[in-house]
Amino acid sequence: MIENPVLERVLAEALRHGGDFAEVFAEDRTNSSAVLDDGRVEELSSGRERGAGIRVISGETTGYAHTADLSLEGLLRAAEAASAVARSDGRGERVVPAGPLSEVSSLRALRDHARADKAGTLELLQRADHAARSQGGAISQVQAACGTSRRAVLIANSEGLLARDEQTRSRFSVSCVASGDAGLQTGYETVARTLGFELFDDVSVEALAEAAARRALTKLAARPAPSGELPVVLAGGSGGILFHEACGHGLEADHIVKDASVYAGRIGQLVASPLVTLVDDGTVDTEWGTFGVDDEGRPAQRNVLIDQGVLTDYLWDYVRSRQEGRRSSGNGRRQTYQHLPMVRMTNTFLLPGTDDAEEIVAQTPRGVYVAQLGGGQVNTATGDFVFGTTEAYLIEDGKITEPLRDANLIGNGPEVLKRVDAVGTDFAMTPGTCGKDGQSVPVGCGQATMRLSGVTIGGTAA
Residue 196 pLDDT: 93
Asked if residue 459 has pLDDT above 80, the reply is no
250 shares its domain with 211: no
Please tell me whether residues 344 and 318 are part of one structural domain: yes
Average pLDDT over residues 48-69: 96
Tens of pLDDT, residue by residue over 215-239, are: 999 999 999 999 999 999 999 998 8
Same domain, 152 and 28: yes
At 93, the pLDDT band (50, 70, 90 cuts) reads low
Residues near 13 by beta carbon (within 8 Å), at least 6 away in sequence: 76, 79, 80, 83
Domain that holds residue 14: 4-221
Q: Do 188 and 284 have their domain in common?
A: no
Residue 87 banded pLDDT, cuts 50, 70, 90: confident
Q: HSE on the CB side for 348, CA within 13 Å?
A: 27
Which of 221, 246, 264 marks a domain boundary?
221
CA-to-CA dists, residue 143 to 64, 119, 127, 432, angstroms? 40, 17, 12, 19
pLDDT at res. 112? 41
CA angle 330, 320, 6 (to 5 degrees): 65
Element holding 230 (H helix, E strand): strand 227-234
Q: Which long-range contacts (CB under 8 A, 24 or more apart) does 325-329 make?
A: 328/294, 328/296, 328/298, 329/280, 329/298, 329/301, 329/303
For the chain, percent of residues with pLDDT exceeding 70: 94
Instruction: For residue 187, give Cα distances in angstroms to 133, 147, 211, 234, 326.
Output: 13, 20, 8, 18, 45
**Mean residue pLDDT across the chain:** 92
pLDDT exceeds 80 at position 461: no
Per-residue pLDDT of 377-429, as tens digits, reads: 889 889 899 999 999 999 999 999 999 999 999 999 999 999 999 999 999 99
Q: pLDDT at residue 98 above 60?
A: no
β-strands 227-234, 366-378 pairing: parallel
pLDDT digits (tens, 9 = 90+) for 317-352: 998 998 899 999 999 999 999 999 999 999 999 999
Nearest Cα to Cα of residue 330 among 320, 351, 316, 350: 316
Based on the fold, state whether residues 210 and 242 are members of the same structural domain: no
- What is each CA distance from 281 to 45, 125, 184, in whole angstroms? 32, 32, 39
Cα(138)–Cα(135) distance, rounded to whole angstroms?
8
Over residues 368-382, mean pLDDT: 90
Q: If pLDDT is split at 50, 70 and 90, which confidence band does 102 have? A: very low
Exposed, middle or buried: residue 163 (CB in 10 Å: 0-12, 13-18, 19+)? middle
| Whether residues 18 and 145 fall in one domain | yes
Q: Domain check: are 20 and 147 in the same one?
A: yes
The stretch 11-35 carries a mean pLDDT of: 95
Q: What is the pLDDT of residue 88?
A: 78
Helix axes 4-14, 72-86, angle to 10 degrees: 30
Which tops the pLDDT comparison, 118 or 83? 83
Which pLDDT score is estimated for 375?
A: 80
**CATH number for position 30:** 3.30.2290.10
State whether 104 and 251 are in the same domain: no
Distance of alpha carbon 395 from the chain centroid? 30
Q: What is the mean pLDDT of residues 54-76?
A: 96
Read off the pLDDT band of 113 (50, 70, 90).
very low
Tell me how far apart the alpha carbons of residues 210 and 201 are, in angstroms, rounded to a whole number: 18
Give me the percent of the chain exceeding a pLDDT of 90.
Answer: 85
Same domain, 175 and 249: no
Q: Are residues 192 and 234 in the same domain?
A: no
* Average pLDDT rounded to a whole number, residues 194-214: 96
Res 105 pLDDT > 50: no
Q: Mark which of 221, 245, 261 sits at the end of a domain.
A: 221
Residue 286, helix vs strand vs coil: coil
pLDDT of residue 255: 94
If one counts the domains in the chain, the total is: 2
Bridge partners, residue 150, by sequence: 30, 168
Of 193, 221, 249, the domain-final residue? 221
Are 166 and 198 contained in the same domain? yes
**Residues 95, 54 within the same domain:** yes
pLDDT tens-digit readout, 264-307:
999 999 999 999 999 999 999 999 999 999 999 999 999 999 99
pLDDT band at 367 (very low <50, low <70, confident <90, very high): very high
